[in-house]
Amino acid sequence: MRICVVSPYFPSHRIPNYIEGIFLLREAKQLQKQGHKFFVVACQHSGLPKFEIVEGIPVYRVSSVIIPKIQYPIPNLFQLTNTIIKISKRYRIDLLDFWGQVYLTSLPILLLRKTIKVPITVTVGGFPGVDWFYGNKIVDLVGLFHSVFLAGLILKQANRIRLEFFSANEFLLRLGIPNSKIHVVKRGVDIERFRPIGKRENIKKELGIKKNNVVILFVGRLEQVKGIDYLLQAAKQLLKEHNYLTFVFAGEGTLRRKYEEMTQSIRENVIFLGFRNDICQLMNAADIFVLPSRSEAHPISVLEANACGLPVVASRVGGVPEIITDGVNGICVTPKNAYKLAEALRKLITNSSLAKEMGKKG
């Protein structure tokens, strides 16, 4: 098939460290091996090129502006719609796949069904203001408006809807989407890329971590939705009891400086690495993976951590409970609760055999 993916994000080889949408690239590469061809329409901003070939995939980008705090792209909708139409005709596209009904890049669906006769699929990772919350009242209110008034219109035009986790199905039915359109297709992880690889002590040494320290790893954006403020509260409590802990944060974001300031009193036990492209190696140096998010869809980082043999402590949000069986391959905790988060981490910190067993089951 010739598939056109429309997404707000897609990695670029021209901009160092820009890997937003990396999971889409990985899915496309797997499907390319089966003979399918991919074309991508994404948002252009922050110096990204209008056109480039990314690992054999033509990527066309349309003019967009970014809302800085939440990194939400607003595309030129006229240019976006025209680009989709031109690519569909030029390459005789068999399928239009829109990633994320929560983004404005999905709005052209309302026009395209009348313009081109190509089947349309949409991926749903949750509904802002309904089952997904950023943590900012204004952002969540706008998200609720989108979910209630726009999501239904967009999704009713789709031929098929891909859910990333089962619990999102309920709101789709409330929007009047027939069950026959809905398919749950969860994200996957490349277990050749993410796996136990050893070299643990070497990696710890490179990071300047003491040999016997217990390493607790977070991977993700340093933004409000990830709940890092609760993790830092939990870290301060745990470090009063155990001084042999190292909390490692891999990722960038608008709140990095704020979080660094919050950790001045425990700076010797906290490392902010910034952007990294060696996540598998970091996971192999860690003892516990933690994801304290306020909201999530179907987080790939949790899958990657389990694939590397790490026990996971994560908020009970979105698709997390469908990945982590509480008490088996990790521990699910109440979101926005530093006490419960510290309690779960303490359980694994003080019982290494339990942590290792959970990692194996993961």
Report which of 196, 313, 54, 352 is spatially closest to residue 301, judged by C-alpha positions. Answer: 313
- Cα separation values, 287 from 235, 306, 342, Å: 15, 11, 15
Give the mean pLDDT of 117-144.
Answer: 91
Q: What is the pLDDT of residue 115?
A: 83
Is the pLDDT at 15 greater than 90? The verdict is no
Does residue 19 surpass a pLDDT of 90?
no
Mean pLDDT score, 31-58: 94
pLDDT at 69 over 80: no
Give CA separation, 98 vs 38, 110, 263, 320, in Å: 13, 12, 40, 23
Q: How large is the average pLDDT for residues 76-105?
A: 95
Taking the whole predicted model, whether its pTM rises above 0.85 is answered as: yes
Chain segment 95-119, per-residue pLDDT in tens: 999 998 889 999 999 988 778 889 9
> In the predicted model, is pLDDT for residue 70 greater than 80?
no
Cross-strand partners of 3? 38, 95
- Model confidence over 201-254: pLDDT tens digits? 888 988 899 989 999 999 999 999 999 999 999 999 999 999 999 999 999 999
Question: What pLDDT shows up at residue 187?
Answer: 87
- State the pLDDT confidence band at 288, using cuts at 50, 70 and 90: very high
In this prediction, residue 18 carries a pLDDT of 84
Which residues does residue 123 pair with via DSSP β-bridges, in sequence order? 99, 162
- Average pLDDT, stretch 287-314? 96
pLDDT of residue 107: 94
